[in-house]
Amino acid sequence: MSKCNFSVVVPVYNTTHVLLELIEQIRFMFNELNESEFEIILINDYSPNPETKVFLRKACLLDHRVKVIHFGRNFGQQPATICGISQSKGKFVITMDDDLQHSPADIKHLIKEKAHDIVIAHLKGKKHSFFKRVASNIKSHFDHIILGKPKHIKMSSFRLISRFVADNLCNLKSPNPFIPAMLFMISKDVVNVSVDHHQRAEGETGYNLKSMIGLFSNLMINNSSFLLNMLGKIGVITALSSTAYALFLIYQKLVIGIDTEGWTSLMVVILFIGGLLLFSIGIIGEYLIRVIQSSEQKPAYIVKSIEGQNE
């Protein structure tokens, strides 16, 4: 496909029959806009459900503008999205989920704001679990602190980006990509568009506690020195507090003449300092692991095969 105005990138994990409905709704939406120059890129993130491959092949047969990319193992939604963007040819790239919680009919609302570099859907009435909503709010707070995200901007994986942003996004090499951080590094021309959030049409979310922690660690460690700065501040506060406490004990002993029981206070200080040191070593070790991974230039994803669009 030499000419393409819009690329729709959809990471796929365990989804089956809903994929065909998703393709049909995307096609219908673009037909309403009298837009025929578009492509749909589906990235199979090593789905364990064998039926997923069957329906991906059906999706390729449904429309010649569908391309399917298969991974050799599971890399996660962020790398899968980056892969799809790197394979895209459109002047504008739309990313969305595969479960119809993001309605293809709302793509037209994102397109209306395509004069901006980045258009992000603000999902109203989220259908996520209480735990996921709380985790999302916490992450949004740190997005503001670490990434400089304006407080009024709400994040989601349903977004439209310009070709300028897409190309530069692919130039940022990281074995642990975190797309929001990469977007704000490229451009601050970001707007929200309010759309409804829908119930999942199939299956359950692939985001469990482990994957959420992994995503949050990509924000905290790969994209900031926040934890190292905090450890430094805690170290200074601990040193000053210990010095002040020692001076207080000396004052009690020499000036007031009060003896201090040594065993309890000594054990508390040793346990506190020991725990702080172990925690600090763990954080520094995690930074070193990420540095080693970056120096080894490990890819964020590996493509096994491609189907559709003449492969």
List pLDDT tens digits, range 42-79.
999 999 999 999 999 999 988 999 999 999 999 989 99
pLDDT at 186 (0 to 100): 93
Q: Tell me the mean pLDDT in the region 119-129.
A: 79
Q: How many domains does the chain have?
A: 2
pLDDT at 252 (0 to 100): 73
* Residue 46 and residue 146 in one domain: yes
pLDDT at 52 (0 to 100): 96
pLDDT at 265 (0 to 100): 65
* Residue 199 and residue 230 in one domain: no
To the nearest 10°, report the CA torsion of 192, 193, 199, 200. Answer: -70
CA–CA distance from 138 to each of 50, 97, 142, 213 (Å)? Answer: 35, 22, 7, 12
pLDDT in tens, 270-288: 766 776 776 777 677 677 7
Q: Does residue 163 lie within any of the structural domains?
A: yes
Q: Tell me the mean pLDDT in the region 14-23.
A: 94
Residue numbers of the domain that contains 24: 6-204+299-308
Q: DSSP 3-state assignment of 302?
A: coil
* Residue 178 and residue 253 in one domain: no
Buried b (16+ CB within 10 A) or exposed e, 101-121: bbbbebbeebbeebebbbbbb
- What whole-number distance in Å separates Cα of residue 116 and Cα of residue 187? 10
Q: Answer left, alpha or beta for residue 309, where phi above 0 means left and psi between -120 and 50 means alpha.
A: left
- What whole-number distance in Å separates Cα of residue 186 and Cα of residue 125? 29
pLDDT in tens, 193-212: 999 988 877 766 655 656 66
* Residue 113 and residue 17 in one domain: yes
| pLDDT at residue 156 is higher than 70 | yes
* Residue 188 and residue 61 in one domain: yes
Please tell me which residue, 206 or 242, carries the higher pLDDT value. 242
Q: Does residue 179 lie within any of the structural domains?
A: yes
* Residue 267 and residue 186 in one domain: no
- What whole-number distance in Å separates Cα of residue 65 and Cα of residue 94? 15
Q: Does residue 220 lie within any of the structural domains?
A: no
**pLDDT-wise least confident of 3-7, 182-186, 259-263, 275-279:** 259-263
* Residue 79 and residue 160 in one domain: yes
**pLDDT-wise least confident of 26-40, 99-113, 168-182, 288-302:** 288-302
* Residue 132 and residue 63 in one domain: yes
How much of the chain exceeds pLDDT 70, in percent? 68
pLDDT at 175 (0 to 100): 79
pLDDT level of residue 145 (50, 70, 90 thresholds):
low
Q: Tell me the mean pLDDT in the region 149-165.
A: 91
Q: Tell me the mean pLDDT in the region 214-223.
A: 62
How much of the chain exceeds pLDDT 90, in percent? 49
* Residue 88 and residue 235 in one domain: no
* Residue 248 and residue 185 in one domain: no
- How many alpha carbons lie under 13 Å from residue 43 in its C-beta half-sphere? 30
Task: Answer for the pair 203, 162: CB distance below 8 angstroms, yes or no.
Answer: no
Q: Does residue 217 lie within any of the structural domains?
A: no
| pTM for the model | 0.76
Q: Does residue 221 lie within any of the structural domains?
A: no
pLDDT at 277 (0 to 100): 76
* Residue 103 and residue 248 in one domain: no
pLDDT level of residue 29 (50, 70, 90 thresholds):
very high
Q: Does residue 43 lie within any of the structural domains?
A: yes
Supply the mean pLDDT for the chain: 82
Please tell me which residue, 210 or 185, carries the higher pLDDT value. 185
Q: Tell me the mean pLDDT in the region 145-170.
A: 88
